[in-house]
Structure 1
Amino acid sequence: MNASPRRKELTRLAAQLFVQEGFDRTTVRMLAQEMGIKSGSLFHHFKDKHEILAAVIEEGTQNALNIAQQALDDCGRDPEVRLRTMARAHLETLFADRNAHVVALFEWRRLDPSASAHLRHLRDAYEALWVDVIDDALRAGILHGDRFLVARFVLGALNWTVRWYDPHGARTPDELADELVAMLLPNADTTNV
């Protein structure tokens, strides 16, 4: 991933436009206009529109992976604390870098095969963190069910919050994460989270 400040800014602007217009409806001309550059100058930074999409998804996924890993490193080994920590970290990345995550969630299928193969390792590494946390919670008996289904259910519920949750509303992202996790736990006490 090219980490130049200009490329990062262009990637951020592209993510915003992809969310507003959708990847298919976004033209190179629209991207250049949003970025304040000429269409030809865009190709100094990116090969084509698909490379821009890959850069948006790569940056968002890498950020999510970094935030989750740091949060897990700092929280200890208690399975319930780790589950809440991952949910909080997930929502933090969704709301801190919302556009990149919306693009990753809804436009992944638009990646060309080589970009998809390249980015799959980041997505898999992120999901592996979740699987470890869920396995710990299943072994501790605080979660019940099939690991695959639990993981899909949890990630699906957390991901869908980008459609309806208002971070400036009645609940903070941490409170929302705690309440969503409490719904999964049979004997959770939400007053002490």
Structure 2
Amino acid sequence: MNESPRRKELIRLAAQLFVQEGFDRTTVRMLAQEMGIKSGSLFHHFKDKQEILAAVIEEGTQNALIIAHQSIEQYPAEPEARLRAMARAHLETLFADRNAHVVALFEWRRLDPAASAHLSHLRDAYEALWVEVIDDALQAGLIHGDRFLVSRFILGALNWTVRWYDPNGPRTPDDLADELVGMIMAR
């Protein structure tokens, strides 16, 4: 994959447009105009609009994986700290790279089968990190419940913050992460 700074900027702008307009309503002409290039020049960087969508989701998911790994590596044997670190890392990626994550959450279904298959390994790797952390918390007795339901509940709650969270409000992302973990921990 071409990792040029220009391509990265095009991916960032495309993510913004996909959030504003939706993938289906965003045209190649709109993308080119937003990017300040001619429509034909867009194809120097991407094969088609579908490849742009895949690039947005891939970059956002890779960034989330990197941040999550770095966060939990600080707490190799502390289940509660790892759970809190994962929640904070998830919110950090949602708010730092909001557009890419909103696109991944709401436009994944627009990926063609080949792109979806290609990107599934990244999504699965990210979810596997969560399962590992949740398993550790379950085993330590910090939380209770079915692993699958607990993971869906946590990720659903964290992901939905992109709809209602106000970064200028009274709560920081760390406050949100701590509050969520506090709500699910066994007392």
TM-score category of the 2 structures, normalised to the smaller one? over 0.9
User: For residue 180 of structure 2, what is the aligned residue in structure 1?
Assistant: 180
Cα-to-partner distance string for 1:63-115 (whole Å, 9 max, x where unaligned): 00000001111233211110000000000000000000000000000001110
Report the alpha carbon displacement of residue 4 of structure 1 after superposing the two structures with TM. 1.0
TM-score normalised over the length of structure 1: 0.95
Query: What is the CA–CA distance in structure 1 between the aligned matches of 2:2 and 2:142, rounded to whole Å?
Result: 42
Partner residue in 2 for 1:38: 38
Task: Give the number of aligned pairs.
Answer: 187
- Cα root mean square deviation, aligned: 0.7
Q: Distance in 2 between matches of 1:111 and 1:60?
A: 15
Tell me how far apart the structure 1 counterparts of residues 112 and 75 of structure 2 sit (CA, whole Å). Answer: 37
* 1:149 corresponds to 2:178: no
Report the counterpart of residue 88 of structure 1 in structure 2: 88
Q: Residue 2 of structure 1: CA displacement?
A: 2.5
Matches within 5 A, 1:28-67: 28-67=28-67
Counterpart in 2 of 1:16? 16
Identity of aligned residues (%): 83
SS at match of 2:80: helix
| SS state at 1:186 partner | coil
2:47 counterpart of 1:78: no
Matched, 1:100 2:100: yes
Q: Distance in 2 between the 1:75 and 1:33 partners? A: 46
Matched residues in 2 for 1:175 and 1:75: separation?
A: 19
TM-score (normalizing by structure 2)? 0.98
Letter aligned with residue 28 of structure 1: V
Moved over 2 A (4+): none
Q: SS where residue 17 of structure 1 aligns?
A: helix
Q: Which residue of 2 aligns with 1:127?
A: 127
Which structure 2 segments of 5+ residues have no match? none
For 2:118 and 2:177, the matched residues in 1 are separated by 30
Counterparts of 2:163 and 2:111, CA distance in 1: 22
SS of the residue aligned with 1:3? coil
Runs of 5+ consecutive residues of structure 1 not aligned to the other structure: 188-193
Answering whether residue 159 of structure 2 is matched by residue 163 of structure 1, we say no
What whole-Å deviation, never above 9, does each CA across 1:17-65 have from its counterpart, x for those lacking one? Answer: 0000000000000000000000000000000000000000000000000
| 3-state SS of 2:90 partner | helix
State the distance in 2 between where 1:167 and 1:58 align: 25
